[in-house]
């Protein structure tokens, strides 16, 4: 769990008008958009193709009989990585309700996160360690046998 406060998705599930290019891309070729989202998130680009080979293809046709595993897994992964509020139950409902909208929302989120990246630099100084390279040998002086060393 993230130690920072949870945020909301940058856009809603049905906010297609926020980024017409993402939604047009998703409308004309949703498998292409899904593969792009998967690749941008660091997963195998072919992962969303599993949704088309599973019974979850019915959700793409408007029959929410089965949650699409790749869309659901990536949605949960994005939510956890970026500290977005939600639950697995809400992710399942969204994925079954409109899988195309889920892919478009994830694409908009990753696009916005890439655009607004923050770099945190640790500006603490390096610790100073003092050591002796070669300690000077002990020297015996006079008859009193005084041992002197220098560092």
Could you read off the pLDDT of 26-65 as tens digits, one per residue? 556 677 888 888 888 888 888 887 777 766 566 556 666 6
142 part of a folded domain = no
- pLDDT by residue (tens digit) across 58-114? 655 666 667 788 888 899 999 999 999 999 999 988 888 888 888 889 988 898 888
Cα atoms in the Cβ-side hemisphere of radius 13 Å centred on 21: 3
Higher pLDDT, 18 or 106: 106
Q: In the beta sheet, which residues pair with residue 141?
A: 146
124 part of a folded domain = no
Tell me: pLDDT of 138 over 60: no
Query: How many distinct structural domains can be found in the chain?
Result: 1
Mean pLDDT estimate for the chain: 74
39 part of a folded domain = yes
Q: Return the CA Rg of the chain.
A: 29
- Helix ranges restricted to H, 41-126: 49-52, 57-60, 69-82, 88-97, 99-115
Using an 8 Å Cβ cutoff, are 86 and 79 in contact?
yes
Cα(41)–Cα(145) distance, integer angstroms = 74
Print the domain residue range for 95. Answer: 16-115
């Amino acid at each position: 769990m993230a130690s920072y406060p949870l945020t909301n998705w940058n856009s809603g599930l049905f906010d297609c008008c926020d980024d017409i290019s993402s939604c047009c891309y998703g409308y004309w070729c949703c498998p292409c958009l899904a593969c792009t989202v998967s690749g941008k998130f660091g997963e195998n680009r072919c992962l969303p193709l599993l949704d088309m080979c599973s019974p979850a293809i019915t959700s793409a046709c408007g029959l929410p009989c089965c949650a699409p595993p790749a869309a659901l897994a990536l949605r949960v992964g994005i939510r956890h990585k970026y500290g977005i509020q939600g639950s697995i139950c809400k992710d399942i409902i969204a994925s079954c309700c409109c899988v195309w909208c889920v892919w478009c929302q994830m694409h908009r989120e990753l696009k916005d996160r890439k655009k607004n990246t923050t770099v945190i630099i640790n500006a603490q100084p390096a610790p100073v360690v003092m050591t002796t390279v070669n300690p000077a040998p002990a020297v015996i002086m006079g008859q009193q046998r005084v041992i002197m060393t220098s560092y």
